Amino acid sequence: MSLRNKLGCAAIGAVGWLAAASASADPVAYTVFAYTDVSLNGRLFHNAAVTMSYAGDTANIQAWCATTTSANDPNCTSDGSFIVAQGWKLETGTAKVRIVSGGHTYRATLSSQVIVSYDHYNGGAGFSSYVGSDHHLEPAYPLTVDGSSLLFNAPDMMTTGNWSGHAWSCVGFPPGTSGLNTGTCADPSVYPIQTDAGPLIVYQPYVSYNPPNFISDDYNGSLNSGFFSVLIGSPSQGDE
Amino acid sequence: MRHVLRLGYALALAGSAYGPVHAHPVVYSTQLVTDGQLGSWVFSQAMVTIRLQGDTGNTVTTTQGGDTVYVNDVGDAEVTVSQGGKTVTAQLDPGQIFARYDPVNGSVGFGSAVGPWYPVVLTCEQQSAGCNRATLVASTARGFSAGQILSALVDIDGGDSPYYSTAVPGLQTDLRGATLLTGYAIACAAYNYTSTSCPSTLPGPITTDKGKLYFLGQDYAGKGVFTAILGPEQDD
């Protein structure tokens, strides 16, 4: 597998963060909020208030690492390869979406393809998903946040707090041409997220380019902003 | 209930124009992560939402410092603060804040008697007053794009539309229509960019039904979102 798990580059990397899942077991709720365009069961909502939430347990948080030779190398072994992304993920839990648009609220439970991930190495966190016939991981789809306070205040997935950054819903992340990538995000309708209310598609309408149409950067390439929150000890679904 | 609010903040009214024939209910809202105090509760890096519910018919086009600015100071305002599982919503007393958008300098948010950029301003540069147009934008082929919507709109106004997706220009507003704006969030009455901190001295309070409200945002690089949504909000 290629560098799909790369969420951008920053120079952090510490082997100590490769510790296995937390020995403690606490309820945890993750939330990402942004205004963006979404489609639920074929109905398009423009600039809707989108809140994704995930309820799980810290005991199931797993370390992960992507290197130049492996997209899934939890031990991050440096056998001649270089770390390109590193952090934690939670794949056991319940993901939900809340869409507010036109004075109405729409809710759906997302399928287990959606997970929560945090790339401490590059400063990005949020809702990733396994998509396609090859079940590959899209790190920045359906909705994630990177850069800004998330990057400079590097939390983990077990610290309660709120952070802001650039909101991304990008299939094919990272797109930034500065990293010699494609410069584009693929059409998200190719990979709808399955929910109990029909397929969910999240779009990326506000981007900056290196003309003519190459997304300029893995952070500032998204003009939209979003928020990532962690709440340890939450007994419920957070905002849901 | 509609409140007619006239603050002590001096507006240089020149050629002011009121809303279009078709006014519309509107909710102006800002979301950001910041620090402050509400009553006795001191919060740090809390998720904060400020809302002003009013009518676009009360939007005023005015001139400040030679630049066109849009202001709406009529409506009911509230603030919601969430931190560590605790959420408090407070209703602001009448006349506390007004929505303000400066498209020339790329600055939007809520002003008050303390100043045009307090309690919260989103800016296209990490300065309360907004972009330095002469050096940052308003020139074609400058070679790079902006990283948030506020600065992108200023840049587009200067001729750099090829640097942005086609959906971006449609976000330009006069506070009489729906919009989504993003920028650097500053929630401090007198942010110190040398020490990169907000002074601990409390500014004039914003009064609410939950006590006095202060913002002491220590961060100048965090992101925020401003929206204008037409129509009544639905309680759910």
According to the model, what pLDDT value does residue B193 have?
81
A224 touches chain B (CB under 8 A): yes
Q: How far is B122 from chain A (nearest CA, A)?
A: 11
Q: Which residues of A touch B168 (CB under 8 A)?
A: 206, 223
Q: List pLDDT tens digits, range B19-75.
A: 445 789 999 999 999 999 999 999 999 999 999 999 999 999 999 888 899 999 999
- A204 neighbors A169 (Cβ within 8 angstroms): yes
Q: Which residue of A has its CA nearest to B225?
A: A225
Least confident of A177-186, A194-203, B94-103, B206-215: A177-186
**Mean pLDDT, residues A142-160 taken together:** 86
Top residue of A150, A220, A223 to mutate, by most chain B CBs within 10 Å, is A223
Q: List pLDDT tens digits, range A19-52.
A: 444 557 999 999 999 999 999 999 999 999 999 9
pTM: 0.88
Does residue B145 form part of some domain? Answer: no
Does residue B16 form part of some domain? Answer: no
Does residue B155 form part of some domain? Answer: no
Q: List pLDDT tens digits, range A54-74.
A: 999 999 999 988 887 766 666
Q: Which residues of B184-199 are buried (b: 16+ CB within 10 A; e: fewer)?
A: bbbbbbebeeeeeebe
Q: How many CB pairs under 8 A join A and B?
A: 115
Of the partner residues A163, A212, A231, the one whose CB lies closest to the CB of residue B85 = A231
State how many domains chain B has.
Answer: 1
Over chain A, what is the mean pLDDT? 85
Q: Which residues of B touch A233 (CB under 8 A)?
A: 85
CB contact under 8 A, A225 and B223: yes
Amino acid at B146: A
Does residue B56 form part of some domain? Answer: yes
Q: From the CB of residue B41, how many other CB atoms can be counted at a distance below 10 Å? A: 14
Q: Which residues of A touch B163 (CB under 8 A)?
A: 208-211, 216
pLDDT(A77) > 80: no
CA atoms lying within 13 Å on the CB side of residue A76:
21
pLDDT(A80) > 70: no
According to DSSP, residue B201 is labeled: S
Domain ranges of chain A: 27-232
Does residue B2 form part of some domain? Answer: no
Query: Is the preceding peptide bond at A142 cis, omega within 30 degrees of 0?
Result: yes
User: Which position has the token pair 């279009």?
Assistant: B20
User: Which of B119, B79, B90 shows the shortest CA–CA distance to B216?
Assistant: B119
ipTM: 0.88
- A163 neighbors A155 (Cβ within 8 angstroms): yes
- Of residues A234 and A134, the one with the higher pLDDT is A134
A159 touches chain B (CB under 8 A): no
Q: List pLDDT tens digits, range A117-129.
A: 999 989 999 999 9
Of the partner residues B32, B152, B168, the one whose CB lies closest to the CB of residue A164 = B32
In a 10 Å sphere around its CB, with 0-12 CB exposed, 13-18 middle and 19+ buried, how is residue B17 labelled? Answer: exposed
CB contact under 8 A, A160 and B46: no
User: Which of B97, B123, B122, B93 shows the shortest CA–CA distance to B110?
Assistant: B97
Confidence of residue A177 (pLDDT cuts 50, 70, 90): low
| CA pair distance B96, B110, nearest whole angstrom | 10
- Measure the N-to-C terminal CA separation of chain B; round to a whole number of Å: 21
pLDDT 10s per residue in chain B (236 long)?
334 334 434 443 333 444 445 789 999 999 999 999 999 999 999 999 999 999 999 999 999 888 899 999 999 999 999 999 999 999 999 999 999 999 988 899 999 999 999 999 998 766 666 676 555 544 444 556 788 999 899 888 888 888 899 999 999 999 999 999 999 999 999 988 888 899 999 999 999 999 999 999 998 889 999 999 998 544 44
User: Which of B97, B98, B105 shows the shortest CA–CA distance to B68?
Assistant: B105
Confidence of residue A183 (pLDDT cuts 50, 70, 90): confident
Amino acid at A4: R
- A117 neighbors A157 (Cβ within 8 angstroms): no
CB contact under 8 A, A223 and B46: no
- Of residues A216 and A165, the one with the higher pLDDT is A165
Confidence of residue A79 (pLDDT cuts 50, 70, 90): low
Residues of B with CB under 8 A from a CB of A: 31-33, 45-47, 82-85, 144-149, 152, 162-165, 167-168, 171, 178, 180, 182-183, 185, 219, 221-225, 227, 231-234, 236
Does residue B8 form part of some domain? Answer: no
According to the model, what pLDDT value does residue A168 have?
98
- Tokens matching residue B82: 């969430």
CB contact under 8 A, B223 and A47: no
User: Which of A136, A144, A117, A119 shows the shortest CA–CA distance to A36?
Assistant: A144
**Domain range holding B189?**
25-134+173-230
| CA pair distance A110, A95, nearest whole angstrom | 5
Q: Which residues of B touch A216 (CB under 8 A)?
A: 144-145, 163
| CA pair distance B53, B75, nearest whole angstrom | 5
Instruction: State phi, psi for A59 to the nearest 5 degrees.
Output: -65, -20
According to the model, what pLDDT value does residue A73 have?
65
Q: From the CB of residue A33, how many other CB atoms can be counted at a distance below 10 Å? A: 25
Beta-bridge partner residues of A27: A57
Q: Which residues of B touch A212 (CB under 8 A)?
A: 162
CB contact under 8 A, B31 and A227: yes
According to the model, what pLDDT value does residue A151 have?
75
User: Residue B86: enclosing H or E segment and its boundaries?
Assistant: strand B86-91
According to the model, what pLDDT value does residue A109 have?
98
B140 Rama class: left (phi>0) / alpha (psi -120 to 50) / beta:
beta
Q: Under 8 Å CB-to-CB from B200, ≥6 apart: which residues?
A: B216
CB contact under 8 A, A164 and B223: yes
Q: Which residue of A has its CA nearest to B156?
A: A208
The 3-state secondary structure of chain A reads CCCCCCCCCCCCCCHHHHCCCCCCCCEEEEEEEEEEEEEECCEEEEEEEEEEEEEEEHHHCEEEEEECCCCCCCCCCCCCCCEEEEEEEECCEEEEEEEEECCEEEEEEECCCEEEEEECCCCEEEEEEEECCCCEEEEEEEEEEECHHHHHCCCCCCCCEEEEEEEECCECCCCCHHHCCCCCCECHHHCCECEECECEEECCCCEEEECCCEECCCCCCECCEEEEEEEECCCCCCCC
Does residue B87 form part of some domain? Answer: yes
DSSP string, B107-166: EEEEEETTEEEEEEEEESSSSTT---HHHHSS-TT-S---SSHHHHHHHHHTT-GGGB-T
According to the model, what pLDDT value does residue B154 have?
86
Q: Which residues of A touch B148 (CB under 8 A)?
A: 220, 223, 225
According to the model, what pLDDT value does residue B187 have?
95
pLDDT(A169) > 60: yes
Top residue of A100, A106, A160, A225 to mutate, by most chain B CBs within 10 Å, is A225
Which of 48-77 (A) contact B at CB < 8 A? Answer: 49
Confidence of residue A153 (pLDDT cuts 50, 70, 90): confident
Does residue B159 form part of some domain? Answer: no
Beta-bridge partner residues of B212: B207
- Tokens matching residue B40: 């006795």
Q: How far is A25 from chain B (nearest CA, A)?
A: 18
CB contact under 8 A, B145 and A210: yes
Q: Which residues of A touch B223 (CB under 8 A)?
A: 148-149, 164-166, 225-226
| CA pair distance A166, A144, nearest whole angstrom | 8
- A154 neighbors A120 (Cβ within 8 angstroms): yes
According to the model, what pLDDT value does residue A104 have?
95
Of the partner residues B152, B223, B233, the one whose CB lies closest to the CB of residue A208 = B152
